[in-house]
Amino acid sequence: MDVNLRVDRDVFVRSLEANIEVYSDGDLGVHVNRAKETLVLDGVLLSERGEYTFMTRRFDIKRGSATFINSTELNPTLQGTAQYKVNQPNREAINIQIVVGGTLHSPNISLTSDAQPPIPQSDLLSYLAFGQSSSSLVQLEGSGLTNSSGGLVGAGAALASRQLAGVAIGVVTDQFAGSAARSLGADVFTITPADVQTDVGNFLRGTQFEFGKYIKSHTFVAVNSPLDPKALVRPGVQIVHRFGGLRGYRLETGVDTRYLLREPTLQRDQTVATTSAFGAFLIREWRF
């Protein structure tokens, strides 16, 4: 028996670490080999939306593929890129990409970034764990005090404690978001707390949630908003529509918050100006 399958865009693969949308640009071939009592798969599954959790950080899927070449087992060749933004006070944010290769059973994972000069892997891991480079942590350790047992107290220990609190809250919110997504019937439902927790007010100001769902097979709508109604970041909306008659074209529209640049100043207390921005883009998708 030979069967050709087509996977629509509103199909999601979920696990404890991932929630990834998959679809096929062409047919996925399934052949039943009665002699060997196996299924043979041939084709490609693509992805451009979803989340993947690595070191308790939620990476946004940018693009990915799983290729089956006459495979007799569910072990496709993987290619994928996901991104996580590390916000830094008074500095430009760093976008860390996780690159996945290899196969499903034996994946290869590496980290890169868009920073120049390139950041070494050890510092990228430090940014993911603590939001700072390893050299900054050494400076914090030097500024702290050590007790008689050699334990670090002071600035370094305080940062580690707040970071661990952020990790613990992130685990709890991920579990709650998974249950809420099933209850609400959402395709995407995420709760993203601040990386470093200091108090309840910081949790409310820094935590955002996103709700996304396919209202039609070619139209995806997402709403994101902070928990604190007084936060600088305003609620945003994104709509992605693919045209059935114009194959390979999609229209992306949305409203989100933009920060306004001010003249440089040495004042310590500065107000941050924001505005709501609307954008609409007609994009042609290329496949190689």
| Displacement of CA 22 from its chain's centroid (Å) | 15
Do residues 103 and 75 lie in contact, with contact meaning Cβ atoms separated by under 8 Å? yes
pLDDT per residue as tens digits for the range 87-131: 766 667 788 999 989 998 888 888 888 888 888 888 888 787 777
What are 182-231's pLDDT values in tens digits? 677 888 887 776 655 455 555 556 677 888 888 888 898 998 887 766 66
Task: For residue 153, report the phi and psi dihedrals to the nearest 5 degrees.
Answer: -125, 170
* Distance (Å, whole) CA 108 – CA 95: 20
* CA gap 155, 142 in Å, rounded: 9
The full set of domain ranges for the chain reads 1-143
0.85 exceeded by pTM: no
Neighbours of 123 (CB within 10 A): 20
